[in-house]
Structure 1
Amino acid sequence: MTVLLTNGTVFVDDDLRAQAAEFVQRAQEPGVRGLALVCDDAAPGELAPDLSALVLQVLAGLARGPVSVTALPDELTTTVAAELIGVSRPTLMKLVRDGILPSHQVGSHTRLRTADVLALRRERARERREAFEALLRFDEEFGAD
């Protein structure tokens, strides 16, 4: 059973939480490619990988207990930005001081545009992926068999 409150909060019972846990477990089995949406009057449509990942993360969180989903605001605090990028807050402030990550002041507080933070996050992920691929190529060329 679900109950939707006027403020957008959705409450679910233990049975639905158990169904979520079972679904997440099945979705992690080998051979499962993604999620599909099936409507009564149309052919099934596969969800985009990012949307499938979101739905599975929400269901996995729901299976463990309460979960909250919200959109990112236009501006972030340094603590939230550091967590999104995967660095400590002092490292984030060094990125700001070095001009790698633009910021602005709101009173005495540093704020960062979400778009800038996400762009840096994507760039760092791309750099890590390229470094890993270079390491794999090196290992294939010079690694011991």
Structure 2
Amino acid sequence: MTSSTLDHTVLPPEQPLDGLLALLTGADAPSATLTGPDGEQLLLPPEVFEVLREVVAAMARGQAVTIAPVHQRLTTQEGAELLGVSRPTFVKLLEDGEIPYERPGRHRRVLLSDVLSYRDRRSLQAREALDRMVEIADQSGMYEQTATSKRTR
């Protein structure tokens, strides 16, 4: 994988990863080592160990994994795909100032970190809105009304 590609996705292997996952889950990050083909052992930095643990856990659940450097620049199409929106919707987010971007030539470029930050902000806003809706429904007694109407049918 090159550091300039975003779409290098690795599918989980066909063989189960339960043993490897158990080993990584039970291991202590500061003492994890990697043994090379020549027997040389290297101490894994805790950050690398945590990434390895997360990758194996995702693959053990049958999920594919994509790894990309955070400083990576994306096209508007790549940014849209990451957010699960259309390219025109993504461009509108850029033009509305929701996500910073550069225009080094004719095309807009966004930092992966800025797109991920926007996604996290939107996710937090959605959770807060849902929490508020539940609070309003609870205060107004809507939960009791729903339960009562189902019993009377």
Shorter chain as denominator, the TM-score bin is: 0.5 to 0.7
Aligned residue identity for 1:18: Q
Identical columns (%): 31
Maintained 8 Å contact 1:101/1:117: yes
Unpaired segments ≥5 residues, structure 2: 1-12, 33-45, 145-153
Q: Deviations over 1:67-101 (max 9, x none)?
A: 56432352111122112223221111001111221
The within-5 A match list for 1:1-145 is 17-20=14-17, 23=18, 35-37=25-27, 51=51, 53-61=54-62, 69-72=66-69, 74-142=72-140, 143-145=142-144
Q: d(CA) in 1 for partners of 2:139 and 2:130?
A: 14
Maintained 8 Å contact 2:80/2:86: yes
Q: Point out the structure with the larger strand share.
A: 1
**Quick one: higher RCO (CA 8 Å, sep 6+), 1 or 2?**
2
Q: Deviations over 1:10-39 (max 9, x none)?
A: xxxxxx62323xx3xx99xxxxxxx33269
In structure 2, relative to structure 1, the CA distance for the partners of 1:128 and 1:54 (3 Å cut) is farther
Secondary structure in 2 matching 1:110: coil
In structure 2, relative to structure 1, the CA distance for the partners of 1:144 and 1:61 (3 Å cut) is closer
RMSD: 3.5
Unpaired segments ≥5 residues, structure 1: 1-15, 28-34
Secondary structure in 2 matching 1:109: coil
Aligned residues, how many?
111
In structure 2, relative to structure 1, the CA distance for the partners of 1:69 and 1:96 (3 Å cut) is closer
Bigger radius of gyration, 1 or 2?
A: 2
Q: d(CA) in 2 for partners of 1:139 and 1:53?
A: 37
Aligned residue identity for 1:59: A
